[in-house]
Amino acid sequence: MDYAKAGVDIKKEEKSISAIKKVISESFSLRTGLGRPLTEIGHFSGLIEFGKYALALSTDGAGTKTIIAKRLEKYDTIGIDLVAMCVNDLLCNGVEPMAFVDYVVMDETDENFLAELGKGLLEGAKQANTVIIGGETATHPNMKDHEVNFDLAGTALGFVKKDHIITGKDIAVNDVVIGLKSSGIHSNGLSLARAVLLDGTEDEPILHELLTPTRIYVKPILNLLKFVPVKGMAHITGGGLLNLKRLTHYGVEIEMPEPHKIFNKIQEKGNVDLKEMYKTFNMGVGFTVIVSEDTVKETKDILGEHEVYELGVVTKENSISITNLDFTL
């Protein structure tokens, strides 16, 4: 089993994204001064000129984790995932999240569902120190025919001083990659996980494990940025460790920690190739920072109350080499 067979073909997605990117990039010339784009499409967030600051936007969803929530009829945590997916992406450019809006589509208006969803959104907002300033709900009756009768999307807004924007351009060979532990599967790869684990005989503990909320890294990372000149950051989401390639033309040589047990279950039950696992899931590392060698100790000390790993170093080769598993992505 692999991600494409489960219905998500990353290569096709990349080709499709390139098609729309080519068209919408023409809008970049429409603004000069305030609102002028400061980054190309493809970073973890999009940044625009706003005086001495840049404003940043990131939008995302909770993926097919909605199906897990539906099966358990448990909706009070998936809002955390929605906030997390957006604000963690903002962080990658050194951006502090400050506001969030959500979009909820459902087959019929359901007061109890929205109240439960709101609990997770509020908890996510607290963890990200971000206000939820509004949103949109829509009723689509035809969703009754689907496996899940609702879907979610969110957009986070943040700010950063223009001279503090982080893009990865300063990353150099021998810089060090630090990883922060994930809480579990987070919100990516659920289509493959469901195809493997949920065959009609699933037990409730596995469903609850899959529903574990995505970790929000805002507070520890913003604290780190006060003291350490971080060179690059990557939110390990769809595409797994390949997200590190979004930062630099260099590669990395790393040793990955023992993954969460849920990943072992997926690999073993689905006979999923190990490389495929690391190209699909976070495999225990939900966020990475790249720093100079001389700031590694300070970085680890500041992040000390969180589980962190010194994963490895930046290399000249444009590849991701996982040395303890003896393969390259």
12 in any annotated domain? no
pLDDT band at 288 (very low <50, low <70, confident <90, very high): very high
Q: Of 142, 164, 186, which residue is a domain's last?
A: 164
Is pLDDT at 203 greater than 80 in this prediction?
A: no
Q: Which residues of 173-205 are buried (b: 16+ CB within 10 A; e: fewer)?
A: eebbbbbbbbbbbbbbbbbbbbbbbbeeeeeee
DSSP type of residue 50: E
pLDDT category, 10, cuts 50, 70, 90? confident
CATH number assigned to the domain comprising residue 43: 3.30.1330.10
289 in Cβ contact with 299 (< 8 Å): yes
pLDDT above 70 (res 184): yes
Residue after which a domain boundary falls, among 164, 186, 214: 164
Express each pLDDT in 215-248 by its tens digit. Answer: 999 999 999 999 999 999 999 999 999 999 999 9
> Do 213 and 321 sit in the same domain of this protein?
yes
Structural domain contains residue 2: no
Q: Taking all residues of the chain, what is their mean pLDDT, rounded to a whole number?
A: 95
Q: Domain for residue 19, yes or no?
A: no
* CATH code of 308's domain: 3.90.650.10
Looking at the fold, whether 250 and 186 belong to one and the same domain comes out as: yes
10 within some domain: no
Residues 296 and 317 in one domain: yes
In a domain, 6, yes or no: no
Contact 256, 284 (CB under 8 A): yes
Rounded to an integer, what distance in angstroms lies between the CA atom of residue 139 and that of residue 16?
28
Identify the weakest region by mean pLDDT among 2-11, 82-91, 156-165: 2-11
| pLDDT higher than 80, residue 306 | yes
Looking at the structure, tell me whether residues 102 and 182 fall in a common domain. no
- Whether 72 is covered by a domain: the verdict is yes
> Is residue 12 packed enough to be buried (19+ CB in 10 Å), middle (13-18) or exposed (0-12)?
exposed
Reply yes or no on whether the pLDDT at 251 is more than 90: yes
Q: Are residues 113 and 84 in the same domain?
A: yes
pLDDT in the model for residue 2? 79
Please identify, among 121, 137, 164, the residue that sits at the C-terminal boundary of a domain.
164
Q: Please report the DSSP string for 69-91 in residue order.
A: HHHHT--SSHHHHHHHHHHHHHH
| Same domain (yes/no): 277, 195 | yes
The encoded tokens of residue 182 equal 């994930």
Q: What is the mean pLDDT of residues 53-70?
A: 97
* Model confidence at 202: pLDDT above 70: no
Q: How many domains does the chain have?
A: 2
The verdict on 182 and 310 lying in the same domain is: yes
- Considering the domain architecture, whether residues 139 and 240 belong to the same structural domain is answered as no
| 92 shares its domain with 134 | yes
Q: Is the pLDDT of residue 7 over 80?
A: no
Reported confidence tier of residue 113, pLDDT bands at 50, 70, 90: very high
Shared domain check, 158 and 186: no
Do 148 and 44 sit in the same domain of this protein?
A: yes
Task: Indicate whether 1 belongs to any domain.
Answer: no
pTM for the structure as a whole: 0.95
Domain that holds residue 97: 31-164
Q: Which pLDDT does position 201 carry in this prediction?
A: 64
Flag whether 20 is in a domain. no
Does residue 159 sit in the same domain as residue 206? no
Mean local confidence (pLDDT), 152-172: 98
